[in-house]
């Protein structure tokens, strides 16, 4: 059986520590030094599986700029943005 098309930039699960208000403080053990952007996607509510993602663009202490999101099940994912 041939594999189907490969999904690019698919989110992958990631370990995130977050503060009381849900703001990430560390990603996979690396400290977050700044939240650069924060945005919400609440869409596809008309489809059987609605989309709810709370995105953060973070600057980590090692200088990396990464995007993570928390889904409706409160699980964290990393996504290339």
Minimum distance of another protein from residue 48's CB (angstroms)? 5
Would you say 28 or 37 has its CB closer to another protein? 37
Would you say 15 or 50 has its CB closer to another protein? 50
Of 73, 70, 81, 79, which Cα lies nearest the Cα of 22?
Answer: 70
Minimum distance of another protein from residue 53's CB (angstroms)? 9
Of 23, 50, 28, which Cα lies nearest the Cα of 38?
Answer: 23
Which residues sit at the interface with another protein, rule CB under 8 A? Answer: 36-43, 45-48, 55, 57
8 A C-beta contact, residue 69 and residue 76? yes
């Amino acid at each position: 059986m041939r594999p189907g098309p490969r999904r690019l930039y698919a989110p992958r699960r990631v370990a995130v520590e977050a503060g009381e208000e849900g703001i990430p403080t560390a990603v996979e053990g690396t400290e977050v030094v700044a939240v650069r952007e924060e945005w919400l996607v609440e869409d596809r509510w008309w489809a059987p599986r609605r989309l709810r993602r709370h995105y953060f663009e973070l600057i980590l202490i090692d200088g990396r700029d990464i995007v993570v999101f928390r889904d409706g099940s409160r699980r964290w994912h990393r996504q290339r943005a």
